[in-house]
Structures are given as structure tokens and as C-alpha cells.
């Protein structure tokens, strides 16, 4: 059995985090999202993996190479044009033979679920099998209608209140090579894409056996920035203490922590695990790291910094007297001294975040900011809950930021007003 992972897309709903890297390469719990899927496939006994890549594919290839270091064999197929899931799967023709599993790269799946999928396929002599799961709001997914375990219809993204059930396609499939025949017959959808669900409808029309497997195991979909915090918490809950770096005298640790090689935790630092700290980090002195914080490699957090339930990516500096709560901070950022990131609204309501032009309820009472790579803040700057700052933008000293800022902008506070300019390319 082989596997295909679809990881060619950008993930526009995750901007600005995906301006500089694919969504599947965003890190949670110390690893890229994509690596969890590779390890789940491996742990389920599948070691031959084809990745369908496209957007910033070099980042994926540089990290995974041929997969040897993860005890798998990885090869790559480039999807030159991103024309839908059927088009992506069709691009693997010749790279996979016989039966094969397909995963969307932006979900995280338990290896037990993969084993159950294989058992279902083999026991019932199916043509195709889809993993199904129930959600509260199915309007953003493909909703499935069943007759016992046989799928009779798939409705893509029904309007709110019009879905026949809350049972959705989880984006995990098992096919044989005849799926390519159905893909050849698939026409573009109203969205202008070749949808694998339309290919499956062709199989159903031809009375092929297309079955659904209800998921009883972990299945996590990551589509919007705040969901990274949920997944990070999910994985850190199982963290085991492993201290490979140096602890100075006076460091206090409660709960499980991972501390990578060549990392130094300076005197007076207090860590409330579970907390993940990567390699070559410099933390403290007198820093407070609270539960579900994940720091990448080469991260520094200076004197009297407090970080709570946040993801700080590689090569970012969080300077002294700064508070970061419930936030996602990209790579190569510099958070200046005295920066304060608010994570709670005055009215105690859920924090809303703008996604693709619409303000979306995150469902989170506490949510800080989302910074793209290369953001720099000035001293004593402050940020309201739910603010997004684009890649390489600069925030002047003393600014109070209550609205999103696009990439490559400079925000300068001038008395009671802010001036936004394009960043000088020089």
C-alpha cells in the first residue's frame, strides 16, 4: 500500500502566515503540520509516500528530502496549476500503482484511523472508501448522504441550514487505479476546479461501490490561524519531559517540558508545562513561560518576558518586559521591549479575526495576534485582540494597533493618529 499527500496549495485563509511558506509547513508542537501525517502513515505501516507539491515546494523538499531520516521513502510530483483535488490526484498517475491512500496535507490523522481505512477497503471489496466525520457546521465541507455504509451522494459546501446531515468528507481516501478513469471523465465544477467528489459521483453513477468509514479516532482539520493553537495544545498534552539543553541555577519547572540541544534557560525563569522549546534558544533571565507555549529553533525571550499559550516560530526575538498571549508569531520577527499583546476583549466576548476579507468569530474568548514572518514592533507598542500584521511590516514605538496591517507596511504613531506607508525597499 502506498500513500499520496496533497500539499500543493498555499492556504489563503491562513495569511499572513502562508505568504512565505505553505500552510502544511507551519509548525505546531515543534513540527510542521505535514510531518505529523508522514509519521502517521509510517506508524500505520505505509512507507512509500508521494507528495503532490506546488506552492513554495522547495520548502517542503528541503525539509523532507527523500524521507530517509523519518524512515520512509518520499518522492514528489509537482502540480504546475492548482486546478482542484481531482487534478492533483490525477497528477500522480504512474507514480502510484494498485491501491493507495490519499490525505489532504492540512489535516492531522491518527495512524489507527489509517489502519481502519485499509481494513474497511479490504474487507468490503470496495472501489473507493472515504473517511467521514461529524461536525457542528457542515457548510464549509462536502456533506455525505449514506445508505447504511454506501455513499449515495456528496453535496459540496451546502448553504447553512440546507445540509442533509452533519456527516462530512474528511479528506482521507483509499482508491484503486480505476479512480484515474473517473478523473478523466470529470468536468470542471462551478468553482472552476476538478473536484475529486465529482469523480466519486461518476463512480457511484456507474454503480461502483463507494463506501464511507465513520471516524472514531482523532481527525483534526486546520483551516484558519487560531486552529493552530488548538492543534498545538492537542499535541503538547502528550509531551514527555526531555531536557537536552542547559538549565542555570534557579530555573523552576512544573509539568512536562521539551528543551532542545544548545538551548540555555537562564536563572529565575519559571516554566509551567507542557511547553516545547527548540534548539539554540536563549530564554530569560526571569522569564515566565506558561502552558501550551511552543518556541521554535533559535528563539530568544529576554528578561521578564511572559509568553502564554502561543506559537513563536524560528529565529524570532521577544525582548524584555514583553507580554505575548494566545498568539502566533512568525519567523524572523523582532518583538521590541515593552510590547504588549492583548488577548481579551473589554466585553469578554469572542475574538473576531478577518479571514479573506470577512470578520470571523474565532470561537475563542482569548486570542491575541497573528504576525507574519519578519514583523518588527517598536518599544512599548500595544496590540488589540485579533489583529493580523503582514509579512515584513514595521510598527513604530508607542503605537496602539487595533486594525490589521498588510505586508510591507510601516505604521508610525504621530500624536493621536497613525501614518501608514509602504516600507522602503532599501
Catalytic residues: 320
Measured distance CA(78)–CA(268) in Å, rounded: 50
Measured distance CA(360)–CA(331) in Å, rounded: 25
Measured distance CA(397)–CA(284) in Å, rounded: 23
Give the C-alpha distances (Å, rounded to integers) separating 225 from 41, 93, 168, 314, 356. 25, 33, 22, 17, 12
Q: Which three cell numbers stand for residue 59?
A: 520548502
- Non-local (6+) Cβ contacts of 333 within 8 A are 313, 316, 317, 371, 373, 374, 375, 376
Q: Classify residue 287 by burial, with Cβ atoms within 10 Å: 0-12, 13-18, 19+.
A: buried
Chain position carrying cell 501614518: 419
- Non-local (6+) Cβ contacts of 326 within 8 A are 229, 308, 309, 310, 343, 364, 366, 367, 368
Give the C-alpha distances (Å, rounded to integers) separating 157 from 107, 169, 360, 362. 18, 11, 17, 20
**Backbone conformation region of residue 375, classed left if phi is above 0, alpha if psi is from -120 to 50, else beta:** beta
Measured distance CA(110)–CA(153) in Å, rounded: 26
Measured distance CA(407)–CA(118) in Å, rounded: 45
CB 105 within 8 A of CB 53: no
Nearest to 413 by CA among 388, 389, 396, 392: 396
Amino acid at each position: 500500500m502506498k500513500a499520496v499527500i496533497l500539499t500543493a496549495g498555499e492556504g489563503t485563509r491562513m495569511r499572513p502566515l502562508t505568504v512565505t511558506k505553505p500552510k502544511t509547513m507551519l509548525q505546531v508542537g515543534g513540527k510542521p503540520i505535514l510531518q505529523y501525517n508522514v509519521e502517521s502513515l509510517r506508524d500505520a505501516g505505509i512507507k512509500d509516500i508521494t507528495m503532490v507539491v506546488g506552492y513554495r515546494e522547495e520548502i517542503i523538499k528541503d525539509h523532507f528530502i527523500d524521507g530517509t531520516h523519518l524512515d520512509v521513502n518520499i518522492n514528489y510530483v509537482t502540480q504546475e496549476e492548482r486546478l482542484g483535488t481531482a487534478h492533483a490526484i490525477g497528477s500522480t498517475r504512474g507514480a502510484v500503482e494498485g491501491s493507495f491512500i490519499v490525505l489532504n496535507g492540512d489535516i492531522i490523522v491518527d495512524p489507527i484511523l489509517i489502519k481502519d481505512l485499509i481494513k474497511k477497503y479490504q474487507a468490503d471489496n470496495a472501489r473507493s472508501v472515504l473517511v467521514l466525520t461529524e461536525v457542528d457546521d457542515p457548510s464549509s465541507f462536502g456533506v455525505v448522504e449514506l445508505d447504511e455504509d454506501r455513499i449515495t451522494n456528496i453535496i459540496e459546501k451546502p448553504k447553512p441550514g440546507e445540509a442533509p446531515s452533519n456527516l462530512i468528507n474528511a479528506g482521507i481516501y483509499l482508491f484503486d487505479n480505476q479512480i484515474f478513469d473517473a478523473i478523466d471523465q470529470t468536468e470542471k465544477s462551478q468553482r472552476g476546479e476538478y473536484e475529486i467528489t465529482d469523480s466519486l459521483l461518476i463512480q457511484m453513477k456507474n454503480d461502483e461501490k463507494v463506501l464511507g468509514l465513520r471516524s472514531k479516532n482523532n481527525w483534526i482539520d486546520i483551516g484558519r490561524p487560531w486552529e493552530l493553537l488548538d492543534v498545538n495544545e492537542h499535541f503538547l498534552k502528550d509531551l514527555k519531559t526531555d531536557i537536552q539543553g542547559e538549565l542555570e541555577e534557579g530555573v523552576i519547572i512544573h509539568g512536562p517540558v521539551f528543551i532542545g540541544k544548545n538551548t540555555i534557560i537562564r536563572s529565575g525563569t519559571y516554566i509551567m508545562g507542557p511547553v516545547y522549546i527548540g534548539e539554540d534558544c536563549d530564554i530569560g533571565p526571569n522569564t515566565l513561560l506558561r502552558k501550551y507555549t511552543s518556541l521554535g529553533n533559535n528563539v530568544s525571550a529576554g528578561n521578564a518576558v511572559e509568553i502564554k499559550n502561543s506559537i513563536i516560530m524560528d529565529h524570532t526575538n521577544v525582548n524584555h518586559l514583553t507580554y505575548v498571549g494566545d498568539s502566533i508569531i512568525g519567523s524572523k520577527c523582532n518583538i521590541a521591549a515593552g510590547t504588549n499583546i492583548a488577548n481579551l476583549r473589554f466585553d469578554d466576548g469572542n475574538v473576531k479575526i478577518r479571514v479573506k476579507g470577512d470578520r470571523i468569530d474565532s470561537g475563542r474568548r482569548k486570542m491575541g495576534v497573528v504576525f507574519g514572518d519578519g514583523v518588527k514592533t517598536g518599544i512599548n507598542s500595544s496590540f488589540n485582540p485579533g489583529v493580523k500584521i503582514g509579512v515584513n511590516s514595521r510598527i513604530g514605538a508607542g503605537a496602539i494597533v487595533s486594525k490589521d496591517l498588510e505586508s510591507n507596511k510601516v505604521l508610525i504613531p504621530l500624536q493621536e493618529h497613525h501614518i501608514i506607508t509602504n516600507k522602503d525597499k532599501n
